[in-house]
Amino acid sequence: MSNKTFASVDEYIGAQAGAVQLVLRRVRNAIRQAVPRADETISYGIPTYKLDGRAVIYFAGWSEHYSIYPTTSRLSEALGSELAPYATGKGTLRFALADPVPARLIARIAKLRAQEVAQRGAAKSRVKRSRSSSGTRR
């Protein structure tokens, strides 16, 4: 992957090597089916899916693998051993291009991340309402 700036996810995937494109299309489809309301965009130079302006999940293609971001402690607790073969670093799941795309797992990750983001957004809204009703400013 180059340092090129991409205008769309289609452009991002199209810039990858042929074999990588096929895999990334499958990853993209799994995410889009799991979180159909998500806005598809490019953020930090990679495909990003957002709900209500908040990033839910990112993916990126590399020469030997593709990655899904972010992983959280809540996600790790929920999916535990299913993620173990893919965890490679803080906040990253790394999948080998040579292996079949675990579409069901990726869909579950996307759904759980969407729930996390929605709950975090709701919690922030409650705090804002509480502060505004109490007269406290930030």
- Is residue 32 included in any domain, yes or no? yes
**How would DSSP label each residue in 124-138?**
HHHHHHHHHHHT---
Give the count of domains, the chain: 1
> Residue 35 sits in which domain range?
9-134
pTM of the model as a whole: 0.84
pLDDT reading at 81 higher than 60: yes
Residue 1 lies in a domain: no
CATH of residue 35's domain is 3.90.1150.200
Report yes or no on 4 lying in a domain: no
Please list the alpha-helical segments (H only) found in 65-102.
73-83
User: What number is the average pLDDT over the span 25-36?
Assistant: 98
Domain assignment present for residue 2? The answer is no
**Residue 118 placed within a domain:** yes
Instruction: Give 65's pLDDT tier (boundaries 50, 70, 90).
Output: very high
